Amino acid sequence: MKQYIVYLEVTDKALREGGYLAHIPDLPGAVARGASKKEALIRLRHNLRSYLQSLANSGSAITPSPDEEIRLTVKEIDSDTLPTDYAPLFHLETKKLIEWIYITGDELTELLTSLPKEVWDWKPNPRASSIRELLEHMVCENGCLLQRLTIWPEDDMARLSAVREAVINRLSHMTAEERSQVTQYAGQDWSARKVIRKIIEQEREHLQYIRRLAERYYREQKEWEALHVQPK
């Protein structure tokens, strides 16, 4: 049996952005959000299995296997900086996590290319984000500062890919000192470990949202078509 610590983020910022946020720092990318603490943890278990399966399918050497029993110990935290974010990020670990960024990026690209363009602008309600809006948000999150210096492709997916490559290039060339240092930005502590964790977690979270949005679109389209079938 494998055991992991789960940090459950209960900050006002997390709640404003959609709910309690659960992280497994030993498996960056294992993340889930829920309207309640219970919902966040239930979703985390589901997303964890899916994430481990994706890593295994991509040939990444992972522990545990997707079928292994897992025990989670939950700790609530009133911050988006986890205690583990202060640990130095080692070179080989950086290479592994960059591999995981590519795996999630490939999974996201495969999902997006399978969806017709009409799904990209569909919203289940006026307050929800469309897939296209979410992609633009991802671009800003991963490279808002870089965008001020670089001309990116106009195509949504090409722009996202270009920003991801720029981020990965920056991470790949960090010095040992940069991988260990903690800086402050807008009153928050930031480390290389925290940045790379955030990148993977955000992509996994957005991937999950897009998948749910697409499933709801197809479900509602099927229901709409059933209501509007013309009698013969």
CB-CB contact of 34 with 48 (8 Å) = no
The model's confidence at residue 225, banded by pLDDT at 50, 70 and 90, is confident
Domains contained in the chain, number: 2
Instruction: Pick the more confident residue, 136 or 186.
Output: 136
Q: Flag whether pLDDT at 145 surpasses 50.
A: no
Find residue 31's DSSP bridge partners: 23
Among 80, 102, 130, which residue terminates a domain?
80
Same domain as 110, residue 52? no
> Does pTM top 0.75 for this prediction?
no
Q: Which CATH number belongs to the domain containing residue 125 in this structure? A: 1.20.120.450
Q: Report the share of the chain in percent with pLDDT over 90.
A: 50
For residue 222, give its domain range.
Answer: 81-232
Same domain as 126, residue 109? yes
